[in-house]
Amino acid sequence: MTQNKSKNPWFWVPSLYLTESVPYVIIITVSVIMYKKLGVSNADIGLYTSFLYLPWVIKPIWSPILELFGNKKKWFLSMQLILSLVFLGVGFTTGLDQFFIITLAFFWMGAFASATNDIASDGLYLIALKPAQQSFFVGMRSTFYRVGMITGQGLIVILAGYLEEKFGDPAQAWSWTMIGVSALMLILTGINYLTTPTVLEERSKPEDQPKFGKIFATFFTKKNIGLSLGFVLLYRLGESQLVKMASPFFLDERVDGGLGLSTTEVGFIYGTVGVIALLTGGILGGIAISRHGLGRWMMPMAFAINAPNIGYIFLSWLQPERISFAMTVVVIEQFGYGFGFAAYMIFLIFLAEGAFKTAHYALATGFMAMGMMLPGMLSGYMQEWLGYPGFFVWVVIATIPGFLMAYLAKYPRDFGKKTEA
């Protein structure tokens, strides 16, 4: 049994998961907007920012190291401090001639630090709280993770847009924005240092721990594993490409096929109303599955996550000047994504069932990240080849494998349904 210098979870769970969310959103999502405003091509944006998913793809490989050496609190505090320095490095180098290569190198370091921070933070949550507390605070975890998304995609992008207008220089604006992100991470690290509990972790002897090879092998010998991994990789095939090119589409000038919106407007659309719609859809999706089970909702949720992408075709054809049209499409798409993503997450939980549940869930989420990384890497090239109207048609066509795998996937129809006490 671990010994815990108890601290009230109401104080440390919110800050810990806010600190988990902010760097991920900055590295994966906000970097797209920053590079677009700094003149990087869509092809390079899609390729290189999607490749930043790699640490989350392979994090199950080094997660056992965190079990064998050090403790969770030291690990995540170290990673959060590194992230603060990473964003400071990005801020200091956005105005250089070779800014793209240099800032990408910083983001790469940040991606590995952020993925490691996720492992350590989740580990502390599991060992510092009793099972009943874990269930009670899971809603707070999710809420403050979403607050981090609003902070990153919304407030920070809006700040960058304000600074762009003030300075008239995107490089200077994003430099100060990233320095601000660095300061925010440093503050959050200090809060986590003061509020998170100190846990003395018991460790089994190395000879008593299951071998990684055994854990790996048992995952790939699960029943219907081929269909299951096909579902994990293809369910979001269209969305994985849309998410990389949506912001560039909004930001590009109208003569280039975009909507010509400002950075501030994109931050408001995606980072505030979009995230609220996403959160609402996710909550309702979880409620729906808990009432009727995954089988009842799998195909409707596949429709919800994919069908709203059609709205982007009409936006690219019509190029409406009123921002309300773009906002409506984003709200519907993000709500559908949140609602449909609930089925995806419940399926990942099903896939991890059995022995080595924690490790198998980590492997499943690694494939989840791969399903976003590989198609996203090609999204920019597809957009430049097809133009925005053709690209969004392609995105809708790319949803077909997701529908097919949702239909073919094998799982208990009542999985996820809340049982009567």
DSSP letter for each residue of 384-419? HHHHHHHHHHHHHHTTHHHHHHHHH----TTTTPPP
What pLDDT score does 3 carry? 47
Residue pair 228/221 in contact (Cβ under 8 Å)? The answer is no
CA distance 408 to 172: 51
pLDDT for 202 equals 59
What's the pLDDT at 68?
67
pLDDT digits (tens, 9 = 90+) for 263-296: 999 999 988 898 889 888 888 888 888 888 889 9
Per-residue confidence (pLDDT) for residue 145, from 0 to 100: 84
Q: What per-residue confidence (pLDDT) applies to 421?
A: 43
CB 360 within 8 A of CB 228: no
pTM of the entire predicted model: 0.87
Identify the residue whose tokens are 């995230």: 275
pLDDT value for 72: 84
The span from the CA of 81 to the CA of 187, in Å, is 10
The per-residue pLDDT for 393 is 97
Say what the pLDDT of residue 2 is: 47
CA distances from residue 105 to 59, 93, 185 in whole angstroms, order as listed: 18, 11, 19
Between CA 221 and CA 236 the distance in angstroms is 24
Low-confidence ranges of the chain (pLDDT < 70): 1-6, 67-68, 131-136, 138-139, 200-212, 419-421
> Which domains are delineated in the chain?
1-209 (1.20.1250.20), 218-421 (1.20.1250.20)
DSSP reduced 3-state for 168: coil
Tens-place pLDDT, residues 91-138: 999 999 999 999 999 999 999 999 999 888 887 887 787 766 665 676
